[in-house]
A and B are shown apart, each in its own frame.
Chain A
Amino acid sequence: MLEEVTTTARSAIYAGALIYSVAFLFGMSALLRRTSYPKSIMLTLLLSGFIFQSLGLNLRGIQIKSCPLGNLFEISQFISWSMVLLYFIVGTAFSLRLLGLFTAGLASCLALTSLIIPGWDTPYPTSAAVNPLIELHASLAIFSYAIFAIVALISLMFLIQQHGLKEKQFRGLYQYLPSIQILDLVAKRLLITGVTVLSTALFFGIAFWISYPESVPLTKLLPTVLLWIGYSSVMVLRIRKRLGTRRHAIASIALFIFAIASLWPVQSVLSKNPAPAKVGKAPDESMRR
């Protein structure tokens, strides 16, 4: 029965990732033909992929009786899922053209990579009662990563548009991208939101760390703190007008790459030293695949 649920969860996640890829290829083919793609089709594809991915993650959650954030596979899936969810909000609120294409590209890349590499979906012990503080910390932290992913995408779009304007390029991708002023404004607002969410996540993390200082290794603490310092510095410098729009965009992309790259060492350490449960029960015998 459990085996069946696991297979169904992975199949649904697979379907979601493939639909994201189709959405990306659809958008790219339209751009290569120098036409703009119908927004409704892109939205439908992303929504379909999102539904399948939600179903898959939900099945995983039921299986482990907590938020599925236990290994690199689940974290990557959760980031891509949150990213698409954010796209539905940000894309609709600001009418950012091509953000759907860029989101589909990164979401499919993250989701497919995590599916293709078997080592990322390593089994880990699950416990019946997980500390709610650590659950909240993890989900908020991963959600902030999704916000930073959207910031990185918008920053990339900003840099492409700025390059086009500086190099006097008129046709192709440039004419479909949103204006640099709007891209910069949205990136700035999302950065502030992301830093706030990450700070909240760290607040709950610290509360947990005070109770169980030995459970958080330095290899997890250091990259997380560095990332928080990095994003907070960019935010403060930007608000105080010490950082230009271009450098802000470059820093946002660099920090996101660092965030994604730091997941692997952090996660590999955590899989060796799992966080303790609130109620001192022995880890569940079932080891998921």
Chain B
Amino acid sequence: MSNILKSLFVLASTHHEASLDVRETIALTPENVFALQQKLHSLKNIQECLVLNTCNRLEIYGLADTAEVEETVRDCVCEYNGVSRELLDTHSFWQTNLDVLQHAFEVSAGLDSQMIGETDILGQMKQSYALAREQNCTGTILNRLFEKSFQAAKSVRTKTKIAQGQVSIGNIAVDLGNRIFGNLNNSRVLLVGSGDVAEKTAQSLKSRGVADITVTSRKFENARVLAHKFGGAAIDFNDFSGQLKWFDIVISSTAASTAIINKDMLVTALRSRQDQPFFLIDLALPRDVDPNVDTLENVYLYNLDDLSAIANENIELRKAEIDQARTILKAHAWNLWLQLRRRTLAIPEETAQVSRSVLNT
């Protein structure tokens, strides 16, 4: 009887290993996530798999027949995101067995996030898990792993104060807005794209007095719905660059593969503004705003890394809570590991194979 847990793995490239520039190239489009998941699952020696693709991480969880699948998985990822093996190898790590459980638990609890303690990642993991289940890419082991990781995340939030003192991107945007404009009541906001984080950020600005929020999106209907929510207007996506001069704060979070706001656009917009500053919040990955615009006077550009660094400035104050959360997660991971070991040791290999094939069909 072979031990299937020997080949539980995760290949991950996160904000710890890769800078924003590298993450931009390694990240997958939603279509490629779907395709990569299908491809990996179709491989003979991979039984289960799940792809988690967010702004801060690309992670491939899987269960393989053998422990020698690392090369195959890495090659597959490079095939779909078009990066070189060297780049992926430099900016990623490979973990197996108990380490996979611990890593997944820490990710779900927000301990591995850029903004430690944030809850968005849990929602993203649940979405990825739902997609993988829908595609029948997960099975007994990964289902248990992810369901337990969601429970562990909840347990950590209940037993520790990990989320307390955590600063949201919305609050940081409001504070930065105050440092740039003073009173936000007269500031006009343009939301480019209809991402969840961008919406929350706009909501924070609205709660602090911003009265005018305009939305633009590739899908005009989405923009119209979101604009209605904020009591603002929707503008045509093809026209937004010409309208930039009217806005003080631009929050961008589209899924565009290249920058949609460049230096020339802002130089043109700045000419029409009377020494008024521009505050750009780029929440997209790949980035929507060309980083070179930050060299312009009166332009203040903040991307995900900048906002996360600010959010973690009070990390020292929460160190004790983080340590306690980590201890709780380790205990959860170890319990799950023992359960999985007991279960796999109790099931004869033939039965295990039958159950896997049933699940896969």
Contacts and interface: CB of A to CB of B under 8 A. Distances in A.
Contacts, number: 46
Nearest to A176: B179
A178 B294 CA distance: 21
Contacts of A218: none
Nearest to B274: A241
Given A174-B179, A244-B297, A245-B297, 18 more contacts: A161-B179, A165-B176, A165-B179, A165-B300, A166-B294, A170-B313, A179-B178, A179-B179, A179-B180, A179-B181, A179-B182, A180-B179, A180-B277, A181-B182, A181-B277, A241-B274, A244-B298, A245-B275
- Range of interface residues on A (Cβ < 8 Å): 20 to 34
A168 B275 contact: no
**6 nearest A-B residue pairs (beta carbon):** A179-B182, A170-B310, A182-B182, A168-B306, A244-B297, A165-B300
Nearest to B307: A168
A36 to B, nearest CB: 14
A166 B294 CA distance: 8
A173 B300 CA distance: 18
Nearest to B303: A168
A177 B179 contact: yes
A61 B313 CA distance: 54
A175 interface: yes
Contacts of B277: 180-181
19 contacts: A161-B179, A165-B176, A166-B294, A170-B310, A171-B313, A174-B179, A175-B175, A175-B179, A177-B179, A179-B180, A180-B277, A181-B180, A184-B275, A244-B275, A244-B297, A244-B298, A245-B275, A245-B297, A245-B298
A278 interface: no
Interface in B274-291: 274-277
A180 B299 CA distance: 12
Contacts of A177: 179
A246 interface: yes
Interface residues of B, number: 21
A168 B297 contact: no
Contacts of A174: 179
B276 to A, nearest CB: 7
Interface of A: 161, 164-166, 168, 170-171, 174-175, 177-182, 184, 241, 244-246
A165 B309 contact: no
B105 interface: no
Contacts of B275: 184, 241, 244-245
B306 to A, nearest CB: 5
B299 to A, nearest CB: 9
Contacts of B180: 165, 179-181
A18 to B, nearest CB: 34
Interface in B248-294: 274-277, 294
A249 to B, nearest CB: 11
Interface in B94-120: none
A164 B313 CA distance: 14
A212 B225 CA distance: 77
